[in-house]
Amino acid sequence: MTNPYPVLYSFRRCPYAMRARLVLYASNIKCELREVVLRDKPDEMLKISAKGTVPVLQLADGTVIDESHDIICWAINQSDPHCWKSYLDEMNTLVEVNDFKFKQHLDKYKYSSRNQELSKEEHRQNGEFFLELLEKRLESKSFLSASQMTVTDLAIFPFIRQFAFVDKNYFDNLPYPKLQNWLEWHLNSDIFKNIMFKYDQWKPEIETIYFP
């Protein structure tokens, strides 16, 4: 019997998987959720996406989408209850900076012991260009694209969260009050709480879990 719902391979703490779950949840798209342990990736996922990273979304017709940005765009084009489609271009611009410039500094900051060409503090400082950019965007509105949350915020939030929690005390004392308030709002939001439930590692024999 064909599965009527997309299958989402995810890992709870991965920011890319997090952004996909946030938008799938906001779009009211029901999926079969398969929680992955990255050191023990299921063959079923590797057969459909050889790159071996999450998230991976397999649609009911067998189509595979294995980039978080593409999953977001697919979701909004399938179901857009909050009228976010008009923000996709703006989201794309910020995602490009986030994914291809900021994220490399974030990873080196978080895993500074593996990246000793610069100190942890220097890696952190290199990433602050993006915090400054976001702070400026938030000076005129409460969220990144509008006066209320949009898909842009959901695409970026998991990465700022990751940066902040490398050293939360340091982050809280940076001169970015708008960004700090924005982050706290998202951390306390119902949508974030609802996509962060803990699930056991998926195995073919376990009972099917649906998300949301």
pLDDT at residue 5 greater than cutoff 70: yes
pTM of the model: 0.95
pLDDT digits (tens, 9 = 90+) for 72-89: 999 999 999 999 999 999
Start-end of H helices in 143-205: 151-164, 168-172, 177-187, 190-195
The CATH number of 85-192 is: 1.20.1050.10
Distance CA 191, CA 187 (A): 9
CATH topology of domain 7-82+196-211: Glutaredoxin (3.40.30)
Residues of the chain with CATH 3.40.30.10: 7-82+196-211
Amino acid at site 8: L
- Boundaries of CATH 1.20.1050.10 in the chain? 85-192
Q: Which pLDDT score is estimated for 1?
A: 47
pLDDT of residue 2: 60
Average pLDDT over residues 97-113: 95
Measure the CA–CA gap between 195 and 212, rounded to whole angstroms: 7
Residue range 106-142, pLDDT digits in tens:
999 999 888 888 899 999 999 999 999 999 999 999 9
**Is the separation of the CB atoms in 115 and 52 below 8 Å?**
no
Number of H helices, E strands in the chain: 10, 5
Q: SS3 for 138?
A: coil
Mean pLDDT of 168-182: 97
